Structure 1
């Protein structure tokens, strides 16, 4: 008996130590990133800072999924990237003094200041109903971050979302705001120079970017859900009329349980307001193995995980429903179902009819060309390990549209490395080629 107690005690101490280690790693990494931004490093080494952002976002995702092995791997990688950035800063040559200060030309599409604050109902995704989210608080906004990278917004009907600002409402946490906007909490914190222990308050203005490429689809009327994108898109008469961030199934895949959201075509077979949740056999078995009380059903109410609205699909066991955990949106946290932010689910419920077709797809890399010729690439993590690699996916998309000679492959490499989950330009800049020609002409005898 004493041996058992000793074993339990040492195990508990080990787990406490592991959790403390990860907490320290997270805190140190986020603090290092915030310090680099405050020192103005984002303007000197923007690609390196974005890469660090993406690494921290990946580490944070694995941490939330209790995948300690991968969390440790990515937190260590983030620490190594911080060290490399600091090393580059030390070896970076000091620019020679200039007689006059000149302002470098802005790249096409770059804005010089953050967009003005807009109500949350206008910034989650486009288009969006004015009743879908609560109105912003009337308190005066606090000052924005000290060091800001330009927010680049691409005008195209191939995109959804925006690069802009969000006004914090009373009682909101950074995690809830990230879920509402459909962005990573870590990236939202980094974009606003917020450390792990920094708090936010009502009226504070946060910068964000949730511009995404609308995935290719085969529906004139229907629902498309892209798993790596963690987004749901609704098409009506050939036009995308609604989009929202969602939570999907965890990557868990064992001999007993597979909680991954499946891909495939479906139809909405039933809709229910104030639904009763009938617990599936697989989740009851999980309850049994974890020593919990086995629940067979939960009636409508505040403890029902389906929330107030649910739509049953023809895929076995898969529902599209509201949630009592709105902060879980834009993560992989469910047992396979598609969770939607409560206010957004209410609006979706009104728009979708029974027998509406749909498809769950898996496209971690997306490509688009805007009307003015900009080539955009978007990359997400291959969370379910279903592809042969993001680089191969990107190359296939670019070559299928015969854009090989029009893209900057170094930019492609950076987008794939960052996996930031937003549209980024990869166009090979013609002005650089022209500059080379002009220089050569100037050096030639007339």
Structure 2
């Protein structure tokens, strides 16, 4: 008897193979062979198909695929549906097989690694071809971040994509503006054939590798990957590699911001692709360009440093770090403070001015410490006149006003 397979099984295997599953490709190859079933499958299994099992997880539904097969003798005199050609497809005549067990039924397949089996188990849950593309526009970021554009189906009980704190419209819009118009980043987005987002990852195209005693080197970095299906992470990494992106995170989380793996050769560096590196990186941005309030939650470049008139997003703390961007409410957390007069950094939360500027603008009287100068109204608020020149904020104060927006959600 020939080997039969349902259309859904063939479709899922075809898409899983197209999405990178070597096991799916091998099984498809076996199914296409014009040989008796007993030469391909162990035992008496035939009429292969799939069954979808669903779990409601709130904002999404988890799907689990089990395989089913007919393993009875349809010609046996005691078989109740012996003369019915549809009998092998009746639920009561079928046996459920977990993915690993299903794979083992094929006689001619090699032994697969646990990673290959896990990939197959995930890929078979999505009956669609996946596309991964790099985007740079604000609307591209917005589409990738908004929860309404996500696939409603996942392959697990938890989904980093659906649990992202930036998935809500207001935070997604702010994040999109920040990445596209302030940080100059790109984003890799994975979509299914229905145009649903199933994965995303920020790409930092102009990060700087800082090594003591060595010239700074520009590198591109693939940040943390958020997905609804586990196998999509591999597809995003593969696409990043094909684009020549230099580094990816070693651990796909927010707790290891300095650990990376080299993906492509970096000019001027000895590290080969696949090398693990512990490195400090930064992304330079103009301090005066950010025109909105707050900042998005950042996984890797979550420290804001002030170097002169420039802000830098970095993956490490330091004496010039003024804020951290890992607040889920969409604003920065102050680490140090910026003097509105000179733009210098200080650590006294009880003082607005640094130690150098403070005695220049405050004086001690019999009634206590008072500020010198006269009050000036600027955009509805009262400030000391010393912070203005010809009615306009001095450079240090202008920078201060822009930086303060980072802390407002």
Q: Which structure features the higher share of helix residues?
A: 1
TM-score (norm. length: structure 1): 0.23
Q: Which TM-score applies when normalising by structure 2?
A: 0.25
- Structure with higher RCO (Cα < 8 A, 6+ apart): 1
- For the pair shown, the structure with the greater C-alpha radius of gyration is 2
